[in-house]
Amino acid sequence: MRLRATFGSIVLLALAINSSGQGFQGGLRGSVRDAGGAVVPGAEVMLTNEATSLTRTTLSNESGEYSFAALDPGSYRLHASLSGFKAIDQTGIRIGTQQFVTLDLKLEVGAVAETVAVTAEVPLVETSNASTGTVLDTLSLQTLPAPGRNAFMIGVTVPTVIPSGDTQFNRQQDQTNASLLSLGGGTRRGNNYTLDGVPITDLRNRATANPTIESLEDVKVQVHTYDAEMGRTGGGVFNTTLKTGSNEFHGTGFFQTRPIWGEQNNFFSQKKGIPKPDNPYYLFGGGFGGPIVKNKTFFWFAAEDYHDVQTRNISVIFPTAAERAGDFSALTVSDPAHPEGRPVIIYDPLTSRTVNGAIMRDPFPGNRILANRIKPVAAAMLKYLPLPDNNIDNGGTYYTRTALINNRFQ
């Protein structure tokens, strides 16, 4: 039994008890032969999860084949034995999310008490299943670049996974940006997301939950080819598996910050003499797990939190005090022929007339709109608009502000 919890996924895991979703478990199969290549039936093959010590045993059939199905992702130890042959003991067999590994065994003639220990890692080719993809294991998730520590965004390290969203929105709650991915040439946001085999894809084809990296055993990014059980997508699948506890207590923890002294002020704010904003950023979290009942029941708990102050900058044009009263005599635009700026003429629309097929209008005297021509409602609305920092109107933006958005412990 395994108990696991992450913020945002507890309800999903409760629903998984009575759900038959897509598969996340893998498998191991192969054949048992002697040194001459003849099949060896009746060999006892025992598979042990190295973290939990949970053991499964099977016998090779009359064709010398053995098979272990529905294996949780993890590292395994395999032991094969038969009277009259040396036993085989191989460790470090990694089974990833929906990864089906073929491992053939060769028994050598000898005493049953003799054991051939295989400690070197050997390349295991997945030929037992049509599903292909790249497995991002715990080490990859911890070391590869992770924008906002979003596990799905790490998928861009896999060939043919192309991002197209706004990269500044990469927090755990930013499902929209994290889902704007194209997998294997498919449409962007045409993908499926599963967590322990349970679909977590909403109506807009986004992941309803972005689990913390501390809670994930691995992520399999499945593109181009995958089993029919995955279905429903013309792009690819993010098949994720949560961590479980083991017979040993383990924990992880991290803390990140972005020092303000290392930040650069906004260019336009700096030009206006506006100081650099006080926008701290803190990201912290961790995971912890272990046995409840050794060799039987385990737990893993993970959480992640952040506190940051984000900035939003704006530079706009507001009318000057004179313009609010209808005086546009100082209004200019940039013009190389006029170093001081070329005056802009304001024409009276009520003087429109046609002369030789052309519409003509007279300018307002002094480039000033008459007070009785300004609507009272418009004049009242102008009272709520701030004045520009410089009472000049030459087409430039003389009102620049920086707003702070305080995200506390999200």
176 or 85, greater pLDDT:
85
Nearest to 30 by CA among 17, 40, 20: 40
325-363 pLDDT, tens digit per residue, is 999 999 999 888 888 889 999 999 999 998 888 899 999
274-326 pLDDT, tens digit per residue, is 888 888 888 899 999 999 999 999 999 999 998 888 878 888 999 999 999 99
108 occurs within a structural domain: yes
Of 78, 103, 118, the residue at which a domain comes to its end is 118
| Torsion over CA: 143, 149, 152, 156 (sign) | negative
382-402 pLDDT, tens digit per residue, is 999 999 988 888 888 888 888
Q: Which of 12-16, 20-24, 67-71 has the lowest mean pLDDT?
A: 12-16
- pLDDT band of residue 226 (cuts 50, 70, 90) is low
3-state secondary structure 295-344: CCEEEEEEEEEEEEEEEEEEEECCCCHHHHCCECCCCEEEECCEEEEEEC
Q: What is the mean pLDDT of the chain?
A: 85
Asked if 363 and 331 count as a contact pair (C-beta separation under 8 A), the reply is no
Nearest to 165 by CA among 188, 187, 184: 188
Of 85, 118, 151, the residue at which a domain comes to its end is 118
- pLDDT band of residue 169 (cuts 50, 70, 90) is confident
d(CA 58, CA 70): 14
- pLDDT band of residue 269 (cuts 50, 70, 90) is confident
64-123 pLDDT, tens digit per residue, is 999 999 899 999 999 999 999 999 999 999 998 878 889 999 999 987 677 788 765 554
What are the structure tokens assigned to 157, written together? 């390290």
The b/e string for 214-251 (b: 16+ C-beta within 10 A; e otherwise) is bbbbbbbbbbeebeeebeebebbbbbbbbbbbbbeeee
314 occurs within a structural domain: no
Asked if 317 and 393 count as a contact pair (C-beta separation under 8 A), the reply is yes
244 or 7, greater pLDDT:
244
- Class of residue 39 by CB neighbours under 10 A (exposed 0-12, middle 13-18, buried 19+): middle
**Alpha carbon separation from 196 to 23, 121, 215, 239 (Å, rounded):** 8, 27, 12, 8
**CATH code of the domain in which 30 resides:** 2.60.40.1120
- pLDDT band of residue 232 (cuts 50, 70, 90) is low
77 occurs within a structural domain: yes
Asked if 244 and 217 count as a contact pair (C-beta separation under 8 A), the reply is yes
Place of tokens 């030789």: 356
- Beta-bridge mates of residue 347: 363
Q: Structural domain of residue 35, as residue ranges?
A: 17-118
d(CA 115, CA 378): 93
67 occurs within a structural domain: yes
248 occurs within a structural domain: no
Is pTM beyond 0.75 here? Answer: no
| Torsion over CA: 170, 176, 180, 186 (sign) | positive
Percent share of the chain, pLDDT over 90: 40
Give the max Cα distance, the chain.
115
Phi-psi region of 382 (alpha: psi -120 to 50; beta: other; left: phi over 0): alpha
d(CA 38, CA 54): 31
141 occurs within a structural domain: no
165 occurs within a structural domain: no
**Residue 8: its pLDDT value, please?**
43
Phi first, then psi: give them for residue 159, nearest 5 degrees.
Answer: -55, 140
**Residue 294: its pLDDT value, please?**
93
Structural domain tally of the chain?
A: 2
Of 118, 153, 184, the residue at which a domain comes to its end is 118
**Residue 58: its pLDDT value, please?**
96
Alpha-carbon dihedral of residues 161, 163, 164, 168, nearest 10 degrees? 170
366 occurs within a structural domain: yes
pLDDT higher than 70, residue 2: no
Mean pLDDT of 30-58: 93
Alpha-carbon dihedral of residues 220, 225, 229, 232, nearest 10 degrees? 100
**Residue 364: its pLDDT value, please?**
94
Length of the chain: 410
